[in-house]
Chains A and B, each alone.
Chain A
């Protein structure tokens, strides 16, 4: 079994090795040779506040996907669009790969990330050392690069501008819910998950 050395920190980008020391509020430890951020002093966010943000984000996620993003009228016909409805159209038109990509990056991975993070943040209050916490936290880190709500949000805006040139477009509740979700996710991602790992104590044998 490898021996843990929690008093050391290695730069994730260049492997330079440093001895960890406490930081004053607002300070950041940067790698001296490549400039990567090694770790930060605790900021505004702590696990309980991130938990509140995650709950808020899940509520926004539910609204964003249950309500219409936009209502469109042309030639006397009106219809509303949701994200899952659009993906369904792609799927029905035999565009399975494109549909799967959109489904995974805008729907599935963000939901998996938020649910797993919710479970981690609840469990870590009482049992930070439980093995399933490690599994879930690794899952959160694995899906995080593939959740692309903020890119989707920009894509919706571009599509709306494009369509508004030929049809009348009325933004729906879900558009605002997606905007709120984008901001909440930006705040959640700003919290370094290594802080949660550090709550799992490992002893250094001298």
Chain B
């Protein structure tokens, strides 16, 4: 099926990542897209190194994001701190299991699944794995699509803190866990953008030329 398909790179052409125009860079040094002016690259520069760096940073921050409290509730009688997980347990116990599952999925499952999937994609691309190409392309598309929904908890914290301002009666404050969690989401999103899905397919082609 793929036998008769050629690629822009194999033909010596470049597709602009910004506007999609295919062009022939000729011998230009640092070529720019003739239509939109963006810098042209055959593949995203240093895609694997950047993806790895961001994934490692995200994996490290995933620990404080889950161990540190994200919110503290102060009422007349007591002060309680909540981590992401204890917030989920609260929803589960207080009669909203649907919300508990939603927050578990976007705040705990998606970030770690995303880090794992991108790491596997980067490993397979480096090895030049030739199997499961289409499945890996699908995994990348899903990872890229769902990542933004992990920001949910940041917005829940922001709005809860903004809403519960009853001075002496009750206040809710944000804690450093929220910042660490937000950093995990942003880092994994940039990691997904840094990875170049075309590397998945390069394995089946000539790998000797400069991948840039």
Contact = CB atoms under 8 A, between A and B. Distances in A.
A92 to B, nearest CB: 10
A151 B163 contact: no
B197 interface: yes
Contacts of A66: none
Question: Main SS of the interface on chain B?
Answer: mixed
A112 B6 CA distance: 39
Interface string A71-85: 010110101011101
Contacts of A123: none
Interface string A117-156: 0000000000000010011011001000100100110111
A77 B171 CA distance: 13
Contacts of B103: 158
Interface string A12-38: 111111000000000000001111100
Nearest to A74: B166
B45 interface: no
A200 interface: yes
B82 to A, nearest CB: 11
A72 B163 contact: yes
A95 B193 CA distance: 27
Interface of A: 1-6, 8-10, 12-17, 32-36, 69-70, 72, 74-75, 77, 79, 81-83, 85-87, 89-90, 93, 95, 97-99, 101-102, 105-106, 131, 134-135, 137-138, 141, 145, 148, 151-152, 154-156, 158-163, 165-167, 194, 197, 200, 202
Interface of B: 1-2, 5-11, 13-15, 17-26, 28, 31-38, 40, 91, 94, 96, 99, 102-103, 133-134, 137-138, 140-141, 148-149, 151-167, 169-170, 173-174, 178-179, 182-183, 186, 189, 193, 197-198, 200-202
